[in-house]
Every structure is written in C-alpha cells, then in structure tokens.
Chains A and B, each alone.
Chain A
C-alpha cells in the first residue's frame, strides 16, 4: 500500500500540495506515482519566476520506464525549485513527500487549494486504480 499523508492535498494526476506557513504551496508527486513510475532518472523543472496556470504542465519526471508530466494544481508564480533533484532524481523514489519535493508556488488565491482532493478521496482513487 502506498503512503498518503492526511495533512496534504492531492490531484487526480498524482501530485501532492502542502500549504506552508508563509502562504506558499509546495508541490511534489505522490508515493503511489513514484511507485508506478519506478526508478526516476531525470527531472525537468520549471524556471523560478514563471507565472503558471492551474492544470498547465510544469515539468517532466522520467523514469527508466516512462515519462510523466507534472501538472500545476493551482495558478500562481514559481518561487523555488528543488535543484537537488537535478543531481539526485532518485530522491523522488525514496522520499516523495520530503526531500523529493519538486517546486514551490506562490498561489494567486490560496482558496484554490480547497478545490483539490483530501487524503481520503485520493486514497479512494488510488484503490480504484489498483483494482
């Protein structure tokens, strides 16, 4: 079973989002997503200061098996990207919710977070995909 922390928000395309104290939102891919992809070997991330709309492609995760787009769950400006992943993309496999975070966005409207799934809904989606 994959790990789905209860305090995070989720998308149907398997990103997670966490509201930070300063109002920014950190984005990554879920444990379930990294499990599906297998060994991650290469990650393309957006550039800092890019303005981006909800649902747009912000980057790509490439594993040995497949390439998968990363979508931005809410509109805003990219304020930080995880440069460590350039050298050590495998962190996404070992720690998807921690050191494996991908980028940080300053949302136009924090309320947009409420549009995303909570952990229970996401767990249900994952379970339905597995059967």
Chain B
C-alpha cells in the first residue's frame, strides 16, 4: 500500500514529480531540484514532511522514560518550549533512529521520528514503555510542514495573527511555541533559519496555499537532501544505522554521558567503545575536480586504510561535489575516491560544508 500525505493533490497540481519514499508518494521536485535548493539558500522554500511521525509521550514518567530510551538527556530541557536532537540506541549502541524531542509541558513530550523507521520505532518504544507510567500516542492526525530559508520566518509570519507573529519573531533557535492545535518550532534540516510546524492534517491544504501566497516556494525531497548534506546533517539509513554508534557518526555531541548515574539504553556499549577507542569516524569530503561523489564509492587513504562514502551529491551552493564518508578515525587531510575505476583526489573536512547560505570550511 502506498501512503499519501494530505498535500498529495497540491503536489500534483504544482507539477511535482512524485517518487516512492519509504512507502510514501512524495514530491522529489517541482521542476528543478537545483532551483528549489537555491530558493532555500537565498529566499524561502517549503517542504511537506508529513510522512514523518509525531509521537506523544504523556504521563508522570514521560521524562524518566525518555531519559532511558534516548542517548541525549531530555532533562537538559528545563523549560517547556525547548527542543533537543538526539539518537535512540539499541543495547549495542547502534542507532535505531535520530529524532527531535519537544518538551511541551510537564509530563508531556513529543518526539518526531523518520518515516522509514516508523514501524520499528513504534514497536521499540512500545516495548520499552511497558515498565514506565507513560502513554504513547502516534499523532496521525497531524501534518508537518517545514519552511526554510533566510526569508522563511518573515514570510511565514504574514499568515498568522499579530499575537502569533510576535511569538514567532521572539523564538530562539531550537525553541518552539504551542498555539491552539499547532506546534511551531524554530528548527530545520537545511542549515538555514526557518520553522517546522505541526498542525492538524485537516488544515494543512489551506495553510500550504497561504504560505505559497506569502511567497514561499514548494520544494521537493531532492532539494531537502542536497540542503541537508551541505549542512552536514546525517540521513538515517544512509549515514548511520543500527550497526553504527553516534561516536562513529559525528554525533558525539548528542550523547549525554553526564550525569554519569543516568542509565540509558546503549550506555554500557558506548562506554566500552570509548575505552577501546573509536576506530571509525564520519567526515566530509570535497572534490574539486569534475565529477560527482556518490554513496558507496570507495575512499582510499594511502598508508591509513579505506572507507566508504555514505552520502554524496553535487553541491549547488559550492558548485562541486561533496560527500559524507565513514573512514578510519586517524584520517589524513587528503585522500582519494574511486569513481568509475579512476582515483580522484578529495579533501577531508569536518562537516558542515554550508551554513546560512555560505561556505563554512577553509
């Protein structure tokens, strides 16, 4: 069975090329992926990400539960209205999924997980929740929109009333507000300013049209992928999976080992890995010669070892190919990538490549 978001007909009307994404009919682009990419870097673009899954965790042990199933510590969220990115791990420290947790109110959190991992995430969370006083509910009644770009907030605000406008203008990064049945967060997956909004699915067609009227361009999942890769943000299933730990995925910053008496799933395995030494890391690659880096191409560092590209693309902002690659931890600053039987030199950098419209590595 193929799933469709409430905006499917809007996408068709806008001339979208529709592809299957994790069992969903989603727009890959509406004409030109590169133009949509530039719109987000320079102005404002909008993505339908309603295939992603919002799950509410409510109950007196909601926080205790999330502190146990997530590698980041939701106790860092001291006030409602703040969000936190992190990973959900298995006992081996492997990544089941990456997600954002929103602290809505005392005893009430919301997490948003990936579409492709929906079923296993729900099964895992449900199983772990048995020992806690927490109720989980999958919010299939919600749609999710992301408006991203330097003009995204300003343009999106026009659609709301004065009071909401003031609240949105005052939002700090990784903060959110709840207004009636909406949750509006200053978060994103593009490396630009913007908002991610959860709203009733019944209202989303109306607001999609309002945001377009406010000058925000529809953008497909193709541009979303090149934008996130430029921003050095991992994609679950490509750059990380259940056989990979956060330490091997450039995500050590999302693992809260302090306080050291917090028990969480995967902790013992991560501590063991730290003791033994982390042997692989996720780095950025830049190809200055003509060609395009792609997932699964081989990375060769003479005298050090080999690795593999996990995501690669042509960067529309930089005009050259970029990639994320899993390589030996002691990687040199230069190495080679095998493209169609030829070895081409690439530079090794620490991601991101682009933030707020500009190149950020030397």
Contacts and interface: CB of A to CB of B under 8 A. Distances in A.
A42 B314 contact: yes
A65 B222 contact: yes
A39 B32 CA distance: 6
Interface string B288-322: 00111010000000000000000001101000000
A38 B291 CA distance: 16
Interface residues of A, number: 13
Contacts of B314: 41-42, 62, 64
Given A38-B29, A41-B314, A42-B314, A64 B290 contact: no
B294 A64 contact: no
Interface residues of B, number: 16
B226 A42 contact: no
Nearest to B339: A67
Nearest to B36: A39
Interface of B: 17, 28-29, 32-34, 222, 226, 290-292, 294, 313-314, 316, 340
A41 B292 contact: yes
A39 B33 CA distance: 7
B222 A42 contact: no
Interface in A35-58: 35, 38-39, 41-42, 44
B292 A67 contact: yes
Most buried by B among A62, A64, A66, A67: A64
Contacts of A39: 32-34
Contacts of A65: 33, 222
Contacts of B222: 38, 64-65
15 contacts: A38-B28, A38-B222, A39-B34, A41-B34, A41-B314, A42-B291, A42-B292, A42-B314, A62-B291, A64-B34, A64-B226, A64-B313, A64-B316, A65-B33, A67-B292
